Structure 1
């Protein structure tokens, strides 16, 4: 029996292991080799005047939870997995936007009447999207605090040696996509399909498909991992 080609999971740990587990449940063998790594930061957390928290990633929840023991404020989460992480961290009131940063901002703006104070967004040092501006434009007070940093890492030599046998690479962020595009300049993979979480992630690959570094590029119709993985069976 011929083994199924492996699926390259490029997102940072620990999320990469969650994705790998979902792939195994689908009967698809994963190759976990992140192109990004999460480095926790240690800022001072000031919650004075803060009425709600907004999280755009599981990493943000986990980093904030290590820095602050307060769990009294309501949480707005970008998606269901981030919402679940917030509940597991001890937050009682959690709402999920089940989408992307724009959907999260819309959820918060729609809840503005019950937010009596500022919205604090604990997240990455270099966020993938701007969530603060839409909130401020809607009349809310909002600010960010960087609780972790995402840094790029090179793929393992063994992964580069297997590029010709891999079926698909999964990309969850524009930064990972940009890193992959640079890797493929020296190691093109004309038989590799790139499946992306959103149009912005796909766009970050630039001309990788057109110039033959990738076989094809597609993005999920909805920016959730479930929709992304559904592309594998479409």
Structure 2
């Protein structure tokens, strides 16, 4: 790698960062792996026989739940195909994928789940959607417990790499806010007009934008006022984010 090669900043948690970096590098890019969040598993008390199926909206939830509960003869309702594959590898049977986002998962459960079955949502501490409440309002028996949380961390960035950053992957609103904090801290080393934010959703971008608007640095205020370059994935998953990079290449 030359010192002039532009970089894609992979910001996701360590658990998936290397996998994402390999996928980005397969598209011909150079990567900078520097997570802005970390996963902290929680330890709620869960009765493994109090439900017949479990809802996973991320692999983080799947991994945390699997460490808490050894039962695998459960229907795994998964937000997307990657989470579904991981659930199958862990031995859950049967596994059902919504192939999209939380809204699609709720719709799938509404359409196909037995309303007499008991469901458990392996949730993050800050769920992006009120999934449990929505399903309960529809008459489903759904319990919920936070099995993990994400915490902001200071990314390990080499100042020499900062001017080379061209693309920044933003995979959640919370990550967006953490990225904004890092950009503000290193604003004098960055070229904001050259940055392109590849965002999993509009909400993720709003996390970045809201964070940057807190800065008093003239170059950041000017860049925000002019309109920062961002791309929003067609569907809220990493595959769609990678397609945006592929069309940029």
Compute the displacement of 1:52 (Å): 1.2
Go from structure 1 to structure 2 and tell me whether the alpha carbon gap of 1:48 and 1:178 turns closer, same or farther (over 3 Å shift): same
1:1-234 map, 5 Å = 4-112=5-113, 114-158=114-158, 160-188=159-187, 189=190, 190=192, 191-206=194-209, 208=212, 211-212=222-223, 215-234=228-247
Once the two structures are superposed, what CA deviation does each residue of 1:23-66 show, in whole Å capped at 9, x if it has no partner? 12222222111100011122221134412110011111111111
Segment of structure 1 superposing worse, 95-104 or 186-195: 186-195
Gaps (5+ residues) in structure 2?
A: 213-219
TM-align CA RMSD: 2.0
What corresponds to 2:215 in structure 1? none
SS in 1 for 2:223: coil
- In the alignment, is the contact (CA less than 8 A) between 2:116 and 2:140 conserved in 1? no
CA–CA distance in 2 between the matches of 1:133 and 1:99? 20
Segment of structure 1 superposing worse, 34-43 or 122-131: 122-131
CA–CA distance in 1 between the matches of 2:5 and 2:246? 13
Normalized per residue, the structure richer in helix is 2
CA–CA distance in 1 between the matches of 2:47 and 2:93? 20
Segment of structure 1 superposing worse, 48-57 or 222-231: 48-57
Task: Compare CA radii of gyration and give the structure with the larger one.
Answer: 2
Compute the displacement of 1:140 (Å): 0.9
Segment of structure 1 superposing worse, 205-214 or 63-72: 205-214
- In the alignment, is the contact (CA less than 8 A) between 2:199 and 2:233 conserved in 1? yes
Compute the displacement of 1:167 (Å): 1.2
Gaps (5+ residues) in structure 1?
A: none
Compute the displacement of 1:111 (Å): 1.6
CA–CA distance in 2 between the matches of 1:185 and 1:167? 16
